[in-house]
Amino acid sequence: MTKIRIAGRFKRKGLKYLAKEESVKAKFLSLNPFVSNLDLDLADVAASLFLCEGLKNRGELTLDDWIRFSVNRFDAWNRPEVKLLIQDILSFMVKARPSIRFKAAQRERRPRKREAPERKESVTLFSGGVDSLSGILNVQKGYGSTSGVFVNHGNISSIVENLQETTLGGYGINVFQVDIQRSRAAGIQQLRGFVYLVYGAIVARILETNKIFISESGPVMYQPLFIPTDLVTLTTHPTLILLSKELFRELYNIKFQFYEPFEDLTKAEVVSLCPEPDVIRSTNSCVTTRFAYSSYSHCGTCYGCLVRRLSCLVAGVMDAKYGRDVLVQDVNERSRGGWRGRISSSSLADLMLLLRFARDVLEDELADYTASKIIQFNKEELFQRFALDIISGVYILYDKEKVGRNTYVKHFLEECMRHKVVSRDMLENRVAEVREKKYKPNFDYKL
């Protein structure tokens, strides 16, 4: 366990300035005997920064002063290059740049000597979601032996354990779990991606490989702003990966390679490529995991649920059930499976943004603040396919299966058809090319 001391500006009991001390501990479980002091330091620093972001999101501090970490390898950490890289990561990810300080721990941990785990050609980051299931199976199939790395900071560890027992083990894949403190804030925590990169690097070092696979689909990696004040995920942004690589090189003197085989694929294409499509319903992609173990495991209204739902439709794969299936249900209909209340107009917020985005992409009407990121990474064609996936999923629900009742979604599809944004032939062709697996992962793409 390590303690971090945080100095920040937040009001509590009339105090304007308050220094706070917190404790964090990363548990490496089965890998614990092989973890070095430098590994432990890096793990605790990443977990601590994740904690700080949660406190910042809750309004308990602003991260505008300093953070001090207690570390075993003071010589490795107390260098300007390392401090600057941590500041750059925080600045990019959470828009804060506190001073970084280190304090030598009183006692170093001495790892016990045991036979190391079986060496693998790579490790693959594994979250228990659709992309990670398809990704780890495709890496094992198309690249070579791999192990998964799952960072448990919520309540879906049993889902990952079930996937390991029922599916991954049969492919000779073992997922190593690392436990850290639970997230303290609702919604997006940007440093979740940094935490995964850190623990992936630590496990890769232990397994004697420098190859780490990230299996998120392209639209997630390059997700643009839908509105000027939008908060989009940066968890696998190329800039974060480059900064993290440099930090690991400074600490370990190892040049880790981060491979992104799905970076030019849509989620529908990733789903269609999954060697075990029947298992997809057992994964979890929802922003909230409150009902992760119920029969209606997904909320149905968040961005992650909407893209997953539409992608599974286009790929022709059986999906999980949704408590508020706004792609089908209309306003005022009752929620399902233990989710309380009725569908409200506010439940359609992410849906309306997603559908509007898809149409704007196809009509080349994106606002500059949205288009700039797509153009920056030369992903115009990728987002064209993504937009067709979104409308193709709606088309399947409303034109082919005729189960849709949402007035807004119905009108959206009718308007797209009437204004010739899309045609039935375009949508049928798109569904066919997804299901025929026209687009393949690129195992050579890396940052």
CATH number, domain at 189? 3.40.50.620
Q: Could you tell me if 430 and 281 lie in one domain?
A: yes
- pLDDT given for residue 187 in this prediction: 54
pLDDT in tens, 290-348: 777 888 999 999 999 999 999 999 999 999 999 999 999 999 999 998 888 999 999 99
User: Does residue 376 belong to any structural domain of this protein?
Assistant: yes
Give Cβ neighbours of residue 235 (< 8 Å, ≥ 6 apart): 190, 192, 193, 194, 196, 216
Q: Give the pLDDT confidence of 171-223 residue by residue, as tens digits.
A: 999 999 888 766 555 556 788 889 889 999 999 999 999 999 999 999 988 88
pLDDT average, residue stretch 219-240: 71
Q: Compute φ and ψ for 262, nearest 5 degrees.
A: -105, 10
Does 93 share its domain with 128? no
Edge-to-edge strand list for the sheet holding 99-104? 15-24, 2-12, 66-71, 99-104
List the Cα angle 268/271/274 in 5-degree steps.
155
Q: How far is CA 209 from CA 202, 257, 370, in A?
A: 10, 9, 38
Tell whether the model's pLDDT for residue 21 goes beyond 70: no
The distance from CA 276 to its chain's CA centroid, rounded to whole angstroms, is 21
For residues 16 and 73, membership in a common domain is answered with yes
47 within 8 A of 82, measured Cβ to Cβ: no
Distances (CA, A) of 45 to 209, 356, 394: 22, 40, 44
419 with 285, same domain: the answer is yes
Please say if the pLDDT value at position 142 is more than 80.
Answer: yes
User: What is the pLDDT confidence band of residue 42, given thresholds at 50, 70 and 90?
Assistant: very high
Band of residue 231 on the pLDDT scale cut at 50, 70, 90: very low
Q: Of 201, 225, 259, which residue is a domain's last? A: 259
Residue 47 predicted with pLDDT over 90: no
Question: Quick one: 198 and 81 in the same domain?
Answer: no
Residues 247 and 160 in one domain: yes
pLDDT at site 29 = 77
User: Quick one: pLDDT band at residue 55, thresholds 50, 70, 90?
Assistant: confident
Least confident of 12-16, 36-40, 312-316: 12-16
Residue 113: inside a domain? no
The pLDDT of residue 293 is 83
Whether residues 29 and 56 share a domain: the answer is: yes
Rounded CA separation 248/203 (Å): 13
What DSSP string runs through 143-161?
A: T--EEEEEEESSS-HHHHH
Same domain membership, residue 232 and residue 313: no
pLDDT at res. 225: 77
Q: What is the pLDDT of residues 386-415, one digit of tens each?
A: 999 999 999 999 999 999 999 999 999 999
| Domain encompassing residue 93 | 2-104
Do 315 and 251 fall within a single domain?
A: no
Q: Is 420 within the bounds of a domain?
A: yes
The answer to the question of residue 114 being in a domain is no
Residues 282 and 406 in one domain: yes
Domain boundary among 226, 259, 292: 259
Q: Which of 65 and 352 is assigned the larger pLDDT?
A: 352
Residue 447: inside a domain, yes or no? no
Q: How confident is the model at residue 230 (pLDDT cuts 50, 70, 90)?
A: very low
Q: What pLDDT is attached to residue 258?
A: 94
Q: End of a domain among 202, 225, 259? A: 259
Residue position matching structure tokens 């793990």: 43
Number of domains in the chain: 3
- Specify the pLDDT at position 183: 58
Q: Is residue 360 part of a domain?
A: yes
pLDDT > 70 fraction of the chain, expressed in percent and rounded: 88
Q: Among 32-41, 232-241, 290-299, 387-396, which range has the highest average pLDDT?
A: 387-396
pLDDT for the residue 12 = 41
Q: Mark whether 323 and 425 lie in a shared domain.
A: yes
Mean pLDDT across 48-61: 81
Instruction: Give yes or no for residue 95 having a pLDDT over 70.
Output: yes
Question: Residue 303 domain-assigned?
Answer: yes
pLDDT at 178: 85
- Is 272 a member of any domain? no
C-alpha to C-alpha distance for 163 and 281, rounded to whole angstroms: 11
The mean of the pLDDT values for the chain is 88
Judgement on whether residues 56 and 163 belong to the same structural domain of the protein:
no
